[in-house]
Amino acid sequence: MAQSNAQELEQCIDNCQQCHEVCLRTALTYCLPKGGRHAEPSHIRLMLDCAEICETSANFMIRGSDLHRLTCGACAEVCDRCAEDCEHMGDDETMRRCAEACRRCAQSCHQMAGHAMAGAGMR
């Protein structure tokens, strides 16, 4: 279940890169200008946290590091939190797309980290 092969690794890199870009872009060009709860420090901070750990996690995999399970483990949990936060913003298509990118990244990172699927998103 937690096996990783070359194809899954490349998919995880893609998912991390997508999530990095969406979180950074959304935080700066959508959430901050929109204001209100979208611009709350805790939300912006979480979006920036998510963008950065995704970047780092992707870089570990791109370098071919066997320690990527450690960064993927941290990344999966940060992405789960960020997805939740985005989902709680209400009826907002942009945040929904951001949450989807976070969920996709979290899922493949949990897998890379060797987390049992049942535990994904539950720690």
For tokens 């907002």, name the residue: 92
Closer by beta carbon to a copy of itself, 56 or else 100: 56
Our finding on whether 116 is near a copy of itself (CB under 8 A) is: no
Our finding on whether 88 is near a copy of itself (CB under 8 A) is: no
Structure tokens, 90: 């209400």
Q: How many alpha carbons fall within 13 Å on the CB side of residue 70?
A: 4
Q: Near a copy of itself by CB under 8 A, which window of 77-85, 86-94, 100-108, 114-122?
A: 77-85
The overall longest dimension of the chain from CA atoms, in Å, is 43
Least distance in angstroms from the C-beta of 67 to a copy of itself: 5
Least distance in angstroms from the C-beta of 50 to a copy of itself: 9
Q: Kindly list the residues in this chain that would bind a copy of itself in the complex (CB under 8 A).
A: 13, 17, 21, 24-25, 28-29, 32-33, 39, 41, 44-46, 48-49, 52-53, 55-56, 59-60, 62-65, 67, 70-71, 73-74, 77-78, 81
